Amino acid sequence: MLIGSAIAASLVLVVIYLAAGGASYEPTPVADPCAPRDWTEPHSLEEDAQQFLLSALDGAACELGVSRETLAAALPTEETREEFAAERGIDDAELEQAIQAGVVRAIDDAQDAGQVNPLVAEGLRAIASNLPVDEAIDLISGAQDVFDDASGLLDRLGGILPDVDLGIIFDRG
Amino acid sequence: MRVSRLGLALAVAVGTVLADGSIVVLALPDIYRELDVSVSAVTWVLVAFNLVLALAAVPAAMLARRVGAARVAIAGLIVFGAASLACGLAGSIELLLLARCVQAVGGAAAVCASLELLPSVTGSERRAAGLWAAAGALGAAIGPGAGGLLTELVSWESIFLLQVPIALVCVLPLLGTARAEGTEAALRAERLPAGRPHLAANAALALVSAALAAALFLVVLLLIEGWRLTPIAAAAAVTAMPISAFCAAPLTDRVPEVGARAASGVILIAGGLAGLGLLPDASVALTLPPQILVGIGLALTLSALTEAALEGRSPQAIHGGWTIASRHAGVVAGLLVLTPVFTADLDTQRAQAEQSGIAALLDSGVDPSSKLELANRIADQIAAEGDKVPDVRPAFDPLPEDPEERDEVVELRDQIVDEVERAATHAFSASFLISAAFALAALIPIGLARRRTRELEL
């Protein structure tokens, strides 16, 4: 009798907790940086710039074989970047290559989303593939400045592309 | 009057010493923060005491029978009190662990000698065993709550410092008894050689204690470290276990069959621990039903197994020593097996929570200019907290002044805090389920003992 009651009480508790999702915990998934990331419908140049840089982060993370989140946590300061590179055995050239690839990926995503004129995108890709090392790192690691407003990104690209009419980079006139 | 004072002193001594096995549980987070050690290292504050108590219990009982129980009890209490003082003044983990070992030696002497002295107070060995077991159970049940209260109101050191006067007060009524002790004890020891301990009951006690220690230790760590409750709030939450044990105590008289009580208790403990391993959400209320099952199981099982281990065995002090050794060896085994499991799970969950938190941040509507700075502050906060479950809230201070932006940041902060809490809850799941398996394993020796009893009856 006592043993039967103990078994029943234990089973009831376990079944209720299982039914309430006790065994179904999964952490919020972290997206695969190599998978295509849909651009949401942007409403401002700032949103364009933000999505551009998040795509760049995806591309660079994919190239390095880490998550976008790991790279985001590693980029803010030189110290965190060095620590990240040392932990993963990545040299400067590999990091720079990855960031260049990230910028190219962002241009591809922007073009796929119809946010960048295809002709301009082609030109930007050519430039990004040969983006000077310091500019490439600066573009990603200094993303905070770029996030301040869309003109931050435009200024940076403008510095690289002095002869391009930046008004046509994003199809917003 | 003299007899009752002596009985009370012995019961208080037993309760105080056995409370020490669990009293620091709620203080562990404070200890490891203050002494700057890891979760694994701070576990040794519990492990060291229980291990030495397990090893010293039977020799202490033998010594009590040879030298004189009152003398050994006095010496034990003085050593226990002095070591408690050293624990309270310890400024490093090494000194604290050393003092805990000495405390356990003194405690083992006091507890086992008390069982030898109690029959002269209560008039029978059976009543003495009952009082001794009840005092120990009460001490172990009150321990975590009292420790939490002292930690919150005063400091973790006060837990140990308070034990010094208690130990010394318990010595006073023993002085007269010690003077009256002659060589009689030694002669009695020679006349009555100790029989074999009850293997099945002691093995079951060890397994159940492993499960219970894990339950108490893990619940406290989950509440304080995982969910960031204060020690007082955690103490209030974990009193569900001793309260339900106290309420279930009358059941032990209604069910005379020891095997049925022990088996039912073990099943309830396993069910409660499985419930803790399957918590659907990070909520204190959800820990209460499993704790109630564990508490009822504790009341049924510990009394039944201690009764079985001492039943018809003489000398009782030595068999009592075996039960203390089994219980505390079980506690040590439980902690040693489960600590690496849950610390590894915590590391994994912490890393996943960090990734999920930063993902939430990057995809949030928070002002883009704050994102990388916040990501950096969150990463810094997590790194600063080492191998502990991080409290990411400080990374969001100060909140933005703009009301709209502040709402966005607060929403994001709550989302990340929830992510960390759920991850911490999940990190304890495997350990709770392993402890449930420990409890279920105790059914094997209980079953064997019941079978043997039935064969003897036939």
What is the ipTM metric for this complex? 0.80
Of the candidate ranges A44-48, B237-241, B303-307, the one whose mean pLDDT is the lowest: A44-48
How many other C-beta atoms can be found within 10 angstroms of the C-beta atom of residue B173?
A: 18
CB contact at 8 A, B109 and B76: yes
pLDDT band at residue A165 under the 50/70/90 scheme = very low
Separation CA A133–CA B99 (nearest Å)? 59
Q: Using a CB–CB cutoff of 8 Å, tell me whether B420 touches chain A.
A: no
Instruction: Pick the range with the lowest mean pLDDT from A40-44, A104-108, B195-199, B420-424.
Output: A40-44
B6 min Cα distance to partner chain A (Å)? 38
- State the pLDDT confidence band at B103, using cuts at 50, 70 and 90: very high
pLDDT above 90: percentage of residues in chain B: 27
- Beta-carbon separation of A23 and B278 below 8 A: yes
Choice among A134-143, A152-161, B187-196, B362-371 with the minimum mean pLDDT = A152-161
DSSP state of A116: B
Higher pLDDT among residues B219 and B378, named by residue? B219
Instruction: Give percent above pLDDT 70 in chain A.
Output: 68
Least confident of A75-79, A154-158, B90-94, B430-434: A154-158
Q: How close B270 gets to chain A, by Cα (Å)?
A: 8
Taking contacts as CB-CB distances below 8 angstroms, the residues of chain A near B267 are: 3, 6-7, 10
Angle between helices B39-67 and B199-221 (to 10 degrees): 140
pLDDT band of A138, cuts 50, 70, 90: low
**B274/A10 Cβ within 8 A:** yes
Is B9 within 8 Å of B170 (Cβ atoms)? Answer: yes
Region A96-100: mean pLDDT is 82
Position A133 scores a pLDDT of: 54
Tell me whether the omega of the peptide bond preceding residue B315 falls within 30 degrees of 0, making it cis: yes
CB atoms within 10 A of CB B454: 10
Q: Does B124 touch chain A (CB under 8 A)?
A: no
Average pLDDT of span A135-149: 51
Confidence at residue A143, expressed as pLDDT on a 0 to 100 scale: 43
CB atoms within 10 A of CB A63: 21
Q: pLDDT tens for residues A50-68?
A: 777 788 888 889 988 998 8
Cβ proximity of B377 and B395 under 8 Å: yes
Q: Does residue A149 register a pLDDT over 50?
A: no
- pLDDT given at position B443: 92
DSSP code string of B30-54: HHHHHTT--HHHHHHHHHHHHHHHH
Highest mean pLDDT among A45-49, B298-302, B310-314: B298-302
Is pLDDT of B453 > 80? no
d(CA B360, CA B352): 12
Rounded Cα distance, B320 and B306, in Å: 8
Q: Which of A25-34, B52-61, B207-216, B377-386 has the lowest mean pLDDT?
A: B377-386
Task: Show which of residues 329-358 on chain B sit within 8 Å of chain A, judged by CB atoms.
Answer: 349, 352-356, 358
3-state DSSP: chain B helix, strand, coil percent, rounded to 5? 85, 0, 15
B2 pLDDT band, cuts 50/70/90, is very low
Instruction: Give the CA distances from residue B312 to residues A46, B129, B197, B256, B315, in Å, rounded to whole numbers and listed in that order.
Output: 83, 11, 11, 16, 9
Inform me whether the pLDDT recorded for A169 exceeds 60.
no
B297: number of CA atoms within 13 Å, CB side?
34
Query: Is B283 in the A-facing interface, judged by CB distances under 8 Å?
Result: no
What percent of chain A stands above pLDDT 90?
10
HEC readout, B393-421: HHHHCCCCCCHHHHHHHHHHHHHHHHHHH
Range picked from B23-27, B119-123, B144-148, B326-330 for highest mean pLDDT: B326-330
**Pick from A94, A117, A87, A107: nearest CA to A153:** A107
Lowest-pLDDT choice from B29-43, B133-147, B380-394, B411-425 = B380-394
Alpha-carbon gap: A82 to the closest alpha carbon of chain B (Å):
14
| CA distance readout (Å), A71 to A2, A29, A30, A89, B395 | 58, 16, 13, 14, 19
Which chain B residues contact residue A29 at CB under 8 A?
356
Span B23-49, average pLDDT: 83
Of B366, B307, B8, B292, the residue nearest B170 (C-alpha): B8
CA-nearest of B407, B331, B336 to B366 is: B407
| Contact flag B274-A28 (C-beta cutoff 8 Å) | no
Nearest residue to A93 (alpha-carbon basis) of A127, A122, A64: A64
Chain CA centroid to CA B92, Å: 22
Name every residue whose Cβ is closer than 8 Å to that of residue B164 and which is 6 or more positions away in sequence.
Answer: B81, B82, B84, B85, B88
Q: pLDDT value at position A146? A: 42
pLDDT at residue A14, rounded to an integer: 95
Is the Cβ pair B372, A7 closer than 8 Å? no
In this complex, which of A9, A11, A27 lies closest to B423 when CB atoms are compared?
Answer: A27
CA angle B107, B112, B118 (to 5 degrees): 120
Comparison of pLDDT for B31 and B390, the residue scoring more: B31
Q: Average model confidence (pLDDT) for chain A?
A: 74
Q: How far apart are CA B394 and CA B416, in angstroms?
A: 12
pLDDT at B79: 96
Flag if B274 and A20 touch (Cβ within 8 Å).
Answer: no
The predicted-structure confidence for B126-151, as pLDDT tens digits, reads as follows 778 778 877 887 787 778 778 888 88
With contact defined as beta carbons under 8 Å apart, do B201 and B309 qualify? yes
Contact B356 A28 (CB under 8 A): yes
Average pLDDT over residues A75-89: 79
Q: How far is CA B64 from CA B67, B68, B72, B111, B187, in A?
A: 6, 5, 5, 10, 12
B255 token code pair? 């069910």
What's the rounded Cα separation, in Å, for the pair B366 and A131?
30
Residue of A nearest to B436 (CA): A10
Q: For B349, which residue in chain A has the nearest alpha carbon? A: A27
| The amino acid at A135 | E
Place A139 in a pLDDT band, splitting at 50, 70 and 90: low
Q: Which residue on chain A is closest to B259 by alpha carbon? A: A3
B110, B159, B82: which is closest to B12 by C-alpha?
B110
Element holding B236 (H helix, E strand): helix B231-238
Using 50, 70 and 90 to split pLDDT, how confident is the model at B1? very low
B378 in contact with A, Cβ within 8 Å: yes
Q: For position B300, what pLDDT does the model report?
A: 87
Residue A156 has pLDDT above 90, yes or no: no
Count CB neighbours of B183 within 10 A: 8
pLDDT-based confidence at B20, cuts 50/70/90? confident
pLDDT, chain B, mean: 83
In total, the C-beta contacts within 8 angstroms joining chain A to chain B are: 122
Q: Rounded to whole angstroms, how far apart are CA atoms B280 and A142?
A: 41
Q: Do A67 and B271 touch (CB under 8 A)?
A: no
pTM (two decimals): 0.77
Residue of B292, B362, B417, B429 to mutate, testing the A interface (most A Cβ within 10 Å of its Cβ): B362
pLDDT tens track for B321-361: 888 899 889 989 998 888 888 888 877 877 777 788 888 88
A interface with B, Cβ–Cβ < 8 A, is 2-3, 5-7, 9-11, 13-14, 17-18, 20-23, 25, 27-31, 46, 49-50, 54, 57, 67-70, 72-73, 75-77, 80, 143-144, 147-148
What are the tokens at B108? 């083992």
What Cα–Cα distance (Å) separates residue B452 from each residue in A135, B194, B387, B447, B458? Answer: 82, 22, 48, 9, 10
B64 pLDDT above the threshold of 90: no
Chain B residues close to A18, C-beta within 8 Å: 278
Q: What is the pLDDT of residues B229-285, one digit of tens each?
A: 888 888 888 888 888 888 887 777 777 788 888 999 999 999 999 999 999 988 899
Q: What 3-state DSSP class applies to A170?
A: strand
For the residues B13-30, what does the mean pLDDT come to? 85
Confidence (pLDDT) at B387: 62
Span of A63-67, B80-84, B433-437 with lowest mean pLDDT: A63-67
Beta strands in B219-349 (DSSP E): none
Interface mutation vs chain A, best among B369, B421, B426, most A CBs within 10 Å: B369
- Of A99-103, B165-169, B372-376, give the lowest mean pLDDT range: B372-376
Nearest-CB residue to B362 (from A7, A54, A144): A54
What pLDDT score does B455 carry?
60
Indicate the DSSP class of residue B195: -
pLDDT above 50 (res A74): yes
The residue of B267, B269, B279, B420 whose CB has the most chain A CBs within 10 angstroms, and thus the best one to mutate to test that interface, is B267
